Structure 1
């Protein structure tokens, strides 16, 4: 019989030789470091719309670590210009930045080793405001409130499509090959690519490859199953690890990433560590990580 212990408190059930893992949702949190703004905006979208000639901007609300814009250091309160081709905003290792829009519609958190540009800030004749950003790589989390003007919109483009937001909290991850993974915490997000769209509500996610239609998946924080199997005497000292998770999530074993197929299934054979403990981490697009320590019993047990 397999023994297990969990690094962080959460529900986990053991059935036969399988461990049943549950992945709860986690509300998005803005970066903790306050950013000094050049000017403080307290206007609502309705108030801002009454002055359609006002210049729009996105401002750095807070930052920590190494953050640059087109290679130059930035500071709290700096405003980002519209930039369709430059390097844009970049974060280094263990660095992050929080952006806020001039119309107080919401905030965007950019995680470490990420790159993002503001590609469009417009005011429509109706007074509606449209905001477009481009996430070239890395991870972002956005919290956008509902719009007062029906013509307003907020979109984040990636190499694999467009996330159209109408009041929601969600996370996006862009991998080095351009693959995009998205998870929605609340509200709805429509993801479009290659002429097709999928709509994801709270708790659901999608995966998209460049030039391919996006695929909508079940619940991001749905139950997953991890199973350990001791191998035969010919392979003594090894164990087989199998898992079924949401393919939107990322899995690592003892710090090493594992590749799941498009259905979220993976299997691997590994040496049993000296301490007999396998550390499994499951991370969603919002960077919420559940950690489990699986204890492999000796054959005498």
Structure 2
């Protein structure tokens, strides 16, 4: 394992905004409150509606209202949530056959609110504080209908598309669009992320340029042995696709916009780093790298 003296050299802030749509672009101002949603959601009526997420499938450790989740459970009140453990997964349906949400392990999905748009379209607001979910949402009958997803890094407003959202522990949000398009807005800049591409957001910075989905967990690295003021140390520098997730001895690392991270290690006679690189699509490569 790593010495407690190692440090992660990467650093960035962790709040940004996303807007996702298959029809049109929805602009999300930086001042929007978390439960507002986007587009029509900002002018929707605050009334009680008969809306829900229904549990269609469960596998492994899945919790609902502090108990084991079961098929047929409904999330229909504000703050209702479902959480999956290390070996857990779930499939949720959105009311009136709007679409399906596939919940990955170590993920929490919480209801932020249900509302009705001025044209009687249904608006569903969800919060994903951690983890990954894939959404397959049909095109809505009403123009004002919308399903929005908030993460610690931003908001995704959906109007008929197929995409996944990954809320990482360092605050970065990764969006992968399979069909439709995603309007990614930050710092007064908007970039369309079309089907077959993915990008990410970091607070206080413009959206990253969309890139083709590579599903490549390759890791490149360099090792630099240093002597400063009679103190020996080792600098490990790694590089991978910036949308990937990297853990070193079980600790998730923060990647910069170029996918780089670094670790300052104590100078020891032998040390092996156990590194795992995982793509947003779930492809994993393990590495055992000796530091001599």
Shorter-chain TM-score tier: 0.5 to 0.7
Structure 2 residue aligned with 1:81, among 71, 76, 82? 76
Q: Sort the Cα spacing of 1:184 and 1:113 in 2 relative to 1 into closer, same or farther, 3 A.
A: same
Q: Deviations over 1:8-48 (max 9, x none)?
A: xxxxxxxxxxxxxxxxxxxxxxxxxxxxxxxxxxxxxxxxx
Over the aligned positions, Cα root-mean-square deviation in angstroms equals 3.8
1:143 has 2:166 as partner: no
> Which residue pairs with 2:243 in the alignment?
248
TM-score, L = length of structure 2: 0.63
- Give unmatched runs, 5+ long, in structure 2: 1-47, 226-233
Q: Deviations over 1:141-188 (max 9, x none)?
A: 111122233222121011221112222222222233433222222221
- Cα deviation, residue 256, structure 1: 6.4
Distance 2:59 2:217 in 1: 34
Q: How many residues align?
A: 235
Q: Deviations over 1:249-286 (max 9, x none)?
A: 12356866554322113467999x99x9x987542234
> Which residue pairs with 1:289 in the alignment?
283
CA contact (8 A) 1:220 1:246 kept: no
- SS of the counterpart of 2:208? strand
Q: Deviations over 1:212-268 (max 9, x none)?
A: 355223315347875467999xxxxxx998654331112356866554322113467
Q: Deviations over 1:102-160 (max 9, x none)?
A: 12121112222222112233333424222211111122111112223322212101122
1:107 has 2:100 as partner: yes
> Which residue pairs with 1:55 in the alignment?
50
Structure 2 residue aligned with 1:207, among 195, 201, 205? 201
Distance 2:180 2:287 in 1: 34
Q: Sort the Cα spacing of 1:224 and 1:79 in 2 relative to 1 into closer, same or farther, 3 A.
A: closer
Structure 1 residue aligned with 2:64, among 57, 66, 69? 69
TM-score, L = length of structure 1: 0.62
> Which residue pairs with 2:231 in the alignment?
none
Structure 2 residue aligned with 1:221, among 176, 193, 213? 213
Distance 1:58 1:177 in 2: 28
1:188 has 2:181 as partner: yes
CA contact (8 A) 1:161 1:193 kept: no
Distance 2:130 2:157 in 1: 18
CA contact (8 A) 1:183 1:284 kept: no
Distance 2:220 2:49 in 1: 58
- Structure scoring higher RCO (CA < 8 A, sep ≥ 6) equals 2
Distance 2:191 2:75 in 1: 30
